[in-house]
């Protein structure tokens, strides 16, 4: 029997992680997933009352997510992996000689390696009065709770700081129904990420959403206000009154613990680290926003995750190091898409720039390339960031640019950014910077069995950080599945493993009437802003129930919630139905009197109806009450549904008219009014081939001939105008309506969400011929079902505004403030051509051009 008296049990290396934020947790995950994890004992301390949660998604807390929804880990997970955790206890002392730490509660723990993941804290400028009760910061869940509590007794809120977090906070205040302001010291918003042009467009878009932006403002003091709690006095002599102030003026590294115990600190703060994330003490590491590498603090989560990976590698004997990080980022700020890549300010010597501006669509793109135009150096995208996923790897991989680099940002150009899709990227291309996942990593996981997007995200972590790469991850998955000869996943979103068409069939066949019922039986999670409106539209298409019922209201966007299109100054449009543009003289008088009474800007539209603009939220029920009493009903200008049926005067008056186009247009509009569909749709009816109603540019165009009606389908105006295709000729009234019924219901069942009829048919295998076989020849045997479904929609129609006016509970939503009957007194108007119009605070790019200012459409 062997002698074992000299054998000793090897003790696990004891690792203490100070801070359990996103980066601290990522370090722990890397340790517990390491092949030799049993050789390490992990203890983590958090001074917050909970374990790690997703700070990147903090603003979602104001949109209904709970603290539990934001959690990145759980006590069960740590227990399962042998991780000890202590919350609500701050590490206050380090004894480097004894290798122990002590907490504020007096707890003492020894360590073999100490990892400082203490993060950062909000910078609060030393402004006199800045420590008042309702002067808050935006950093933790507890901060959000304080902001929510303060908002209940406030009307106006100001955010100091126009960076990423500041704009997220402004969105939160806006969502809390406050008059929101952003005050920024720099001359533009997001000055670090965006150039002047991108910042200007971002400002315009945010102001259009109703948030006031004040740049180049230095707050001198905060004093008592006259109309609000506080008055902010600026150095230039101007001021703002507000009830709440939230500081989001940047972050500072939380280096107090290291500084106190003689660990090297940078000149301007931050714990100095090397490529292994080691501090000046060989047994102490620093990672995340508290760490200073090469004189830089990295304020994004992705570099922190890379530091965590490097530190674990060094501790476990690996070779991975932290050698800096790309700070490119893709964001959605208050609904505005923004992206910044590389050298966004063209600081590289000899850099060439290309700028594309589309003022009408609110798009700004700037490309920065090397002096020889061979490689990409930087990109700024505002309003359209679809190319981000392609351009970022091109910059990181130093891929060869096309001979004309400008095609990468020009729309609808053959050989543009879309041509450089995922197939053109090398396997080394970094797809997810948060978790350091390359295209090759994704392909390897796909071949190992991760053939669903949720599986691919789960096993690689790609797309689970900031989420900016999710679309690219999906593109890699679909491309690789096609290469493998497998079916591509077209699920509606991660919460439903079904396409829109499949979900519509489930709703129809299983008689499902609510989102919650569908989610419980066929989905998972809580839903998102992709599936909720899509399911809401499908439910409305099939059941045609009141969109503001308790079950449906949670699914609607802003326009549908308030039954009116929100305008750029925060007011709403009022659009009564005027079928085929036909209106009596008395009807015109009634509309005119209502317009005068409420001082509304009035316009006859291209859809042959009268639109009112400038109605405040509280005025909407009052205006609609008078309109309904005058015999009008909602025009559904706010919904994804039928908008208008345009008509000429036809045979009633015109000497060329072949048939009564007005009567047909009225019949069609009254038949399809209120039908919810994947996208808005329009019709036109012309009384002869002279086409005065421009019917061929509509989703359904009807043109009279001497033999009957010709039906054109799937045309549209908009960004990509398209003439409709001739579907059938010489139709009588009944056959015309039957065909339109069938096509509309086939479209509602099978189109993707937000897909126009033109794109729907173009993407259909067999195109127009296949559509004819389904609708005319009944190839699928569904025509009777289509007609039955349409008749149910027609039979159950009711004016949404009329029903809302009879529902006192729903009318409570039409108030500016939840705690006051006060109206919005901050709107500014000016007289123009005899009407009141919203005063525009900042000139748009188009106005600047009109004044002769130099703003090139394409600048090289």
Q: Residues annotated as binding site for [4Fe-4S] cluster?
A: 648, 654, 688, 692
Nearest C-alpha neighbor of 815 from the set 595, 562, 594: 562
N- to C-terminal Cα separation, the chain: 84
Number of H helices, E strands in the chain: 27, 38
Gyration radius (Cα) of the chain, Å: 30
- CA quadruple 285, 286, 292, 293: dihedral sign: positive
Q: Residue 549: phi, psi to the nearest 5? A: -65, 165
Task: State how far the Cα of 197 lies from the Cα of 206, in Å rounded to an integer.
Answer: 14
Point out which residues pair with 53 in neighbouring strands: 71
Rounded CA gap, 548 and 563, in Å? 9
Assess contact for 846 and 359: CB atoms under 8 A: yes
CA-based nearest residue to 772, from 713, 706, 724, 860 = 713
Beta bridge partners of 286: 116
Rounded-to-integer distance, Cα 409 and Cα 387, Å: 8
- What gap in Å lies between CA 249 and CA 818, rounded to an integer? 29
Of 201, 210, 242, which Cα lies nearest the Cα of 355? 201
Angle, alpha carbons 389-390-393 (nearest 5°): 90
The residue among 362, 372, 366, 361 whose CA lies nearest residue 387 is: 366
What crossing angle do the helices spanning 531-543 and 515-522 adopt, rounded to 10°?
A: 110
Q: What is the DSSP letter of 400?
A: P
Looking at the DSSP bridge assignments, the partners of residue 251 are 122
**Phi-psi label, residue 597: left if phi above 0, alpha if psi -120 to 50, beta otherwise:** alpha
Distance between CA atoms of 631 and 594, rounded to whole angstroms? 13
Annotated binding site, which residues?
Answer: 648, 654, 688, 692
Contacts of 757 (CB under 8 A, 6+ apart): 679, 681, 699, 713, 714, 716, 747, 751
Residues 6+ apart with CB under 8 A from 446: 456, 476, 477, 480, 481, 484
- Count Cβ neighbours within 10 Å for each residue of 289-312 and write b for 16 or more, e otherwise: bbbbbeeebbbbbbbbbbbbbbbb
| 205 φ, ψ (degrees, to nearest 5) | -65, -40
Cβ count near 20 (within 10 Å): 28
* 613 contact partners, CB below 8 Å, separation of at least 6: 567, 571, 573, 574, 600, 601, 602, 603
Q: Which 3 state secondary structure label does DSSP give 355?
A: strand
Q: Residues comprising the binding site for siroheme?
A: 692
**Cα 149 from Cα 136, distance rounded (Å):** 11
Between CA 156 and CA 124 the distance in angstroms is 20
| Nearest Cα to Cα of residue 467 among 373, 366, 385 | 385
Q: Give the tokens for residue 534.
A: 């899509």
């Amino acid at each position: 029997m062997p002698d074992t008296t000299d054998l000793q049990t090897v003790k696990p290396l004891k690792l203490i992680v100070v801070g359990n934020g996103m980066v601290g947790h990522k370090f722990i995950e890397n340790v517990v997933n390491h092949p030799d994890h049993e050789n390490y004992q992990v203890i983590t301390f958090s001074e917050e009352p909970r374990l790690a949660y997703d700070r990147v998604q903090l603003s979602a807390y104001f949109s209904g997510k709970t603290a539990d929804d934001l959690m990145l880990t759980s006590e069960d997970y740590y227990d399962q992996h042998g991780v000890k955790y202590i919350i609500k206890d701050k590490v206050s002392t380090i004894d480097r000689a004894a290798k122990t730490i002590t907490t504020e509660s007096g707890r003492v723990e020894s360590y073999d390696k100490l990892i400082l993941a203490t993060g950062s804290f909000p910078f609060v400028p030393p402004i006199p009065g800045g420590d008042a009760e309702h002067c808050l910061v935006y950093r933790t869940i507890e901060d959000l709770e304080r902001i929510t509590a303060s908002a209940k007794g406030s009307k106006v809120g100001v955010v100091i700081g126009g960076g990423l977090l500041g704009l997220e906070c402004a969105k939160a205040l806006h969502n809390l129904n406050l008059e929101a302001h952003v005050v920024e010291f720099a001359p533009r918003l997001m000055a670090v990420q965006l150039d002047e042009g991108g910042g200007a467009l971002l400002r315009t878009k945010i102001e259009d959403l109703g948030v006031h932006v004040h740049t180049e403002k230095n707050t001198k003091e905060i004093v008592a206000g006259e109309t609000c709690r506080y008055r902010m006095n600026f150095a230039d002599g101007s001021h703002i009154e507000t009830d709440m102030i939230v500081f989001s003026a940047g972050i500072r590294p939380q280096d107090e613990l290291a500084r106190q115990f003689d660990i090297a600190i940078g000149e301007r703060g931050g714990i100095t680290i090397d490529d292994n994330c080691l501090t000046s003490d060989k047994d102490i590491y620093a990672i995340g926003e508290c760490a200073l590498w090469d004189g830089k603090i990295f304020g994004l989560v992705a570099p922190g995750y890379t530091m965590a990976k490097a530190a674990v590698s060094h501790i476990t004997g690996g070779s991975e190091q932290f050698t800096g990080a790309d700070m490119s980022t893709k964001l959605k700020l208050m609904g505005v898409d923004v992206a910044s890549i590389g050298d966004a300010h063209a600081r590289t010597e000899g850099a060439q720039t290309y700028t594309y501006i589309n003022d009408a669509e609110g798009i700004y793109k700037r490309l920065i390339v090397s002096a020889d135009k061979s490689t990409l150096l930087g990109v700024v995208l505002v309003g359209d960031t679809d190319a981000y996923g392609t351009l970022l790897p091109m910059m990181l991989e130093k891929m060869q640019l096309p001979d004309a680099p400008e095609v990468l940002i020009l729309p609808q150009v053959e050989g543009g950014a879309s041509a450089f899709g995922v197939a053109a990227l090398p396997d080394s291309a970094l797809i997810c910077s948060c978790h350091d996942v390359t295209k090759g990593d994704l392909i390897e996981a796909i071949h190992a069995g991760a053939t669903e997007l949720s599986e691919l995200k789960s096993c690689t972590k790609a797309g689970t950080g900031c989420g900016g790469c999710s679309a690219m991850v999906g593109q890699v998955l679909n491309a690789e599945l096609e290469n493998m000869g497998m079916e591509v996943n077209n699920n509606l979103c991660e919460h439903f493993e079904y396409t829109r068409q499949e979900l519509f069939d489930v709703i129809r066949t299983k008689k499902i009437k609510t989102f919650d019922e569908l989610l419980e039986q066929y989905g998972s999670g809580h839903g998102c802003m992709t599936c909720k409106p899509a399911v809401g539209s499908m439910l409305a298409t099939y059941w045609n129930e009141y969109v503001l019922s308790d079950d449906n209201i949670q699914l609607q966007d802003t326009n549908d919630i308030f039954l009116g299109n929100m305008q750029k100054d925060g007011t709403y449009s009022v659009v009564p139905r005027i079928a085929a543009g036909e209106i009596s003289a008395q009807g015109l008088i009634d509309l005119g009197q209502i317009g005068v009474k409420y001082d509304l800007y009035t316009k006859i539209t291209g859809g042959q109806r009268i639109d009112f603009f400038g109605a405040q939220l509280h005025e909407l029920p009052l205006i609609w009450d008078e309109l309904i009493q005058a015999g009008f009903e909602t025009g559904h200008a706010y919904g994804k549904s039928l908008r208008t049926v345009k008509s000429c005067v036809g045979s009633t008056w015109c000497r060329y008219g072949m048939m009564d186009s007005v009567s047909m247009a009225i019949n069609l509009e009254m038949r399809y009014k209120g039908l919810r569909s994947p996208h808005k749709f329009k019709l036109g009816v012309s009384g002869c081939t002279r086409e005065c109603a421009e019917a061929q540019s509509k989703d359904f165009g009807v043109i009279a001939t001497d033999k009957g009606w010709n039906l054109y389908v799937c045309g549209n105006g908009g960004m990509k105008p398209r003439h409709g295709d001739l579907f059938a000729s010489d139709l009588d009234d009944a056959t015309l309506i039957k065909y339109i019924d069938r096509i509309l219901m086939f479209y509602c069942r099978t189109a993707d969400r937000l897909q126009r009829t033109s794109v729907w048919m173009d993407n259909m295998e067999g195109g127009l011929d296949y559509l004819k076989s389904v609708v005319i020849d009944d190839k699928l045997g569904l025509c009777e079902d289509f007609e039955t479904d349409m008749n149910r929609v027609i039979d159950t129609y009711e004016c949404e505004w009329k029903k809302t006016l009879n529902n006192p509970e729903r009318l409570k939503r039409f108030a500016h403030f939840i705690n006051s009957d006060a109206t919005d007194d901050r709107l500014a108007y000016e007289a123009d051509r005899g009407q009141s119009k919203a005063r525009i605070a900042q000139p748009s790019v188009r106005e600047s051009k009109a004044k002769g200012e130099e703003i090139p459409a394409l600048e090289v």
